[in-house]
Structure 1
């Protein structure tokens, strides 16, 4: 680099510094006091507002979301026409109660944009699946791969909690701990409702809850607990769609896991036990009590929020009997009073009687979360008087392949239930004298023929006038 250039730069810096010194000397005592006062006020205001803060992260346009749905997720073009909103993403930082004190947690918020400032949108809480890496959570992924953009582009305000011990929370994640899952979800809803004005958006008060895998467990945990009293007049829980979740930990998930020779994801088992021990403190004193050496020393240190399930599984032997003490396996299978099974029962989320529709979805080849969880839950609820409880078989896919179909189906169900407030849907707009095809929200043809002779339909549908025309959403009320 040229030496003269460096000297000129240094001289310029010195001159700037001297001017700054002169400016500081001209400050009156009153000005300095005012400046210090403002700094102090800002500091304390920041502390007072830390109970909930929102940070804008990103925005994606309707066309980008549509392209991602078609090209990357391979969603049918007809259904992709439902993605009609640009979407903003925010990170929420908020407080929740946990083990007798208040802790800071985080989550993601997605809001659809509309050209009509009077549009009112429903809210959906989408709870994510299992992650071992603390930053592999919704609020730390602002790219278009985040499911929140897709769901929000349908016309939903989407709230996605990160969970205790993940995201901004630095403690051990209490995996499948129903109480903290519920508290984390409901307090995100409350933080959002308390701060409507910051988002310049309106809601119609309709609330839906869903989630996949661990998120299915969270969805059920939230639904079985009451929403905070302070928002009861603002929201109405319309329906719940738990997806491929371990609802029956004590009767299905743990017994079916330990009765097999091997399990597809042994890291999950240690995640549960270490997570529950961090809350209850009475499962073990030393990790080697629940895990054979040399694996105990390796695996415990990897449950640190930085290692993935794949990395942990790679350290595990094929057979469970090589991982777990044989007497522990037998106790879990035969003794319902064993401390692990007691805590499993504490975290069952199926044994309650819903007053709202609960439609579960599962796949029969799920090797991680056994589909019998959904059958057990639906049977118990129906036998105890609940109505509109359904466990849908989405197909014979495995756990990962089941996800998109289950999520899409549940969101379309929510879409159809939310007939009020969707002002972006055209109402009874038909081109007279034309022929048309009308599809339901599952892509099935429900009418074909002249619009004048349309059969009686009620709800939200997709209409298409010709092979080359663009499908439109319509709300039909006959």
Structure 2
């Protein structure tokens, strides 16, 4: 949840008055953000701790604002990043990269200069792919608040960005082929699975899923994540994730009437504002306690231990991200000792896939670190691994 500089020209875009199924993915605006030669791209990636060995091309980055729908299928807009390689083939395969958790609106691919969120799509584009990275709803240039870990809206935002990117690429003389290689990190692992499932189910007339590579995902909230939260309550990151989950899902699923029922004072009066998209991540962390005991009331703990019917129904949706048959080459990536997402999540995902006759390869990334975190390190290591794997698939 690192804070980052906002591009000076970024201006929020209001939701359109309508968005039929035919209009989803329609481009609202495009802005060229930056361009780099191949040498500049290598230097940027290496300087920021990412592997540059796959770089073959320079890149151009574009912010795309496009029409999509909100969790209730009402019209809205969202933004995302499109990165195109300079030169090379005119017809490109597309990598869709879904980023990890951010709570501050600007800390996403199309409005962020922080290299952690932009280096993966830059890596894929520099290797010769078209790369797209959705900001998700309520982030970047999108209006409203972000529905965190809501797989259905992550899916529609990701799919509609692909459609918009196809149009933008054509304006630059490039054709996006049907092939989509879907990957994502942490929160984005579930988003990538949601997109893959939609493409596999024929959600788009053009794009089709050809490979799937989620990284360090929380695939089992009911069986893994909630027990882990309750057993490691004296941890600031756990406190932040728990608050984000309850606040965001209350907006979507009405889990409680009054924040004071779930959160202790003084936090009950501030949690909604801390996760409104306009509070920098470091400020949010400073305004939260260091332990769940300080954060939650007895009712708050009871909701986590024994989810209400509405909460349980929402959890079932989140937990179903691996309950389908990809039918394409699939790899799941994880790091040993991930301090934020227990690696048993990956085991649960492979078990779920097995029930559908799918047996993905689990790639052990070892113990990579980025800024002292193995969870973040897994994103860096997996970017290097997936770009090589994607390039080998023809």
Quick check: TM above 0.5? yes
Q: Could you state the TM-score of these two structures normalised by the residue count of structure 2? A: 0.85
Aligned residues between the structures: 361
Secondary structure (helix, strand or coil) at the match of 2:365 reads strand
Q: Distance in 1 between matches of 2:82 and 2:50?
A: 25
- How far the C-alpha of 1:270 sits from its partner, in A, is 1.5
Q: Deviations over 1:236-259 (max 9, x none)?
A: 311111111111122211222123
CA contact (8 A) 2:218 2:341 kept: yes
Change (3 A) 1:264 1:370: farther
Secondary structure (helix, strand or coil) at the match of 1:226 reads helix
2:27 equivalent to 1:54: no
2:382 equivalent to 1:409: no
- How far the C-alpha of 1:346 sits from its partner, in A, is 2.0
Of the three residues 222, 227, 246, the one matched with 2:218 is 246
1:215-364 aligned within 5 A: 215-226=188-199, 231-232=204-205, 234-265=206-237, 266-280=239-253, 282-333=254-305, 335=306, 337-348=308-319, 349-364=321-336
Q: Distance in 1 between matches of 2:98 and 2:177?
A: 21
Q: Distance in 1 between matches of 2:333 and 2:97?
A: 15
CA contact (8 A) 2:233 2:293 kept: yes
Q: Distance in 2 between matches of 1:74 and 1:161?
A: 20
1:87-106 aligned within 5 A: 87-98=59-70, 99-106=72-79
Q: Deviations over 1:113-168 (max 9, x none)?
A: 11x5x543210001111111101111113677621322210111000111001011
Change (3 A) 1:370 1:309: farther
- How far the C-alpha of 1:268 sits from its partner, in A, is 1.6
Partner of residue 35, structure 1: none
Change (3 A) 1:307 1:105: same
Q: Distance in 2 between matches of 1:262 and 1:124?
A: 38
Partner of residue 57, structure 2: 85
Q: Could you state the TM-score of these two structures normalised by the residue count of structure 1? A: 0.70
Q: Distance in 2 between matches of 1:300 and 1:82?
A: 42
Of the three residues 201, 206, 231, the one matched with 2:174 is 201
Q: Which moved more, 1:237-246 or 1:343-352?
A: 343-352
- How far the C-alpha of 1:311 sits from its partner, in A, is 2.5
Q: Which moved more, 1:119-128 or 1:154-163?
A: 119-128
CA contact (8 A) 1:65 1:144 kept: no
Change (3 A) 1:194 1:250: same
- How far the C-alpha of 1:331 sits from its partner, in A, is 4.3
Partner of residue 151, structure 1: 124
- How far the C-alpha of 1:87 sits from its partner, in A, is 0.7
Instruction: Give ranges in structure 2 of 5+ residues lacking alignment.
Output: 1-22, 369-373
CA contact (8 A) 1:186 1:227 kept: no
Q: Which moved more, 1:65-74 or 1:90-99?
A: 65-74
Greater RCO, 1 or 2 (C-alpha within 8 Å, sep 6+): 2
Q: Distance in 2 between matches of 1:120 and 1:325?
A: 56
Partner of residue 377, structure 1: 349
Partner of residue 102, structure 2: 131
CA contact (8 A) 2:262 2:298 kept: no
Q: Distance in 2 between matches of 1:359 and 1:49?
A: 30
1:466-477 aligned within 5 A: none
Q: Distance in 2 between matches of 1:362 and 1:227?
A: 24
Partner of residue 459, structure 1: none
Name the Cα RMSD after superposition: 2.4
- How far the C-alpha of 1:90 sits from its partner, in A, is 0.9
2:112 equivalent to 1:141: yes
Q: Distance in 1 between matches of 2:268 and 2:382?
A: 36
CA contact (8 A) 1:174 1:272 kept: no
Of the three residues 160, 184, 189, the one matched with 1:187 is 160
Partner of residue 433, structure 1: none
Change (3 A) 1:143 1:288: closer
Secondary structure (helix, strand or coil) at the match of 1:110 reads strand
Q: Distance in 2 between matches of 1:305 and 1:177?
A: 16
CA contact (8 A) 1:332 1:341 kept: no
Q: Distance in 1 between matches of 2:282 and 2:43?
A: 30
- How far the C-alpha of 1:49 sits from its partner, in A, is 12
